[in-house]
Amino acid sequence: MSLLTGPAAGLPMAGWGEGEVLYADQQLVIRQTIPPQGLSFSGTIDLSNVAAVQDVLYSQGPRQPELHLELSRVQFIDVSGIRALAEAGERGNGTGRLVLHGLPPFLKRVMTLIGWNELRNVTICECTTERE
């Protein structure tokens, strides 16, 4: 287990630990977080691995009423990856919530421009040091 660390001070999910690797390829690592209601992503999300991202999000969603995603170490995400995040939020159907932590500025800007920041079950966390 390691503590989540990022390039910038004030990592959104500071103090959360990383647990089991749920998926890894040459571009992306997805880990369970500790406490267990979250996932941390590190690397690139694109067409080559978006099906795996969707599988992991789908498998974790029903387990948690609130799923936290730590995204500060995502270096690049294409539209298929952004769509996978939005669809995971939409799958909550009013019963669950997807909380996005540490959105890189480019990703926050894109999600805001296309209106996915206003999805009912998706929350962009503005927290700076601790889990809410």
In the chain, where the domains are located: 2-124
pLDDT digits (tens, 9 = 90+) for 57-91: 988 866 667 889 999 999 999 989 988 988 887 77
Residue 106 has pLDDT above 70, yes or no: yes
Q: What's the rounded mean pLDDT across residues 116-120? A: 79
| pTM of this prediction exceeds 0.75 | yes
d(CA 112, CA 117): 5
Give the distance, in angstroms, between the CA of residue 14 and the centroid of all CA atoms in the same chain: 14
Per-residue pLDDT band at 92 (split at 50, 70, 90)? low
DSSP-based three-state secondary structure for 44: strand
Per-residue pLDDT band at 108 (split at 50, 70, 90)? confident
- Does the 2-124 domain belong in CATH 3.40.50.2000? no
DSSP-based three-state secondary structure for 16: coil
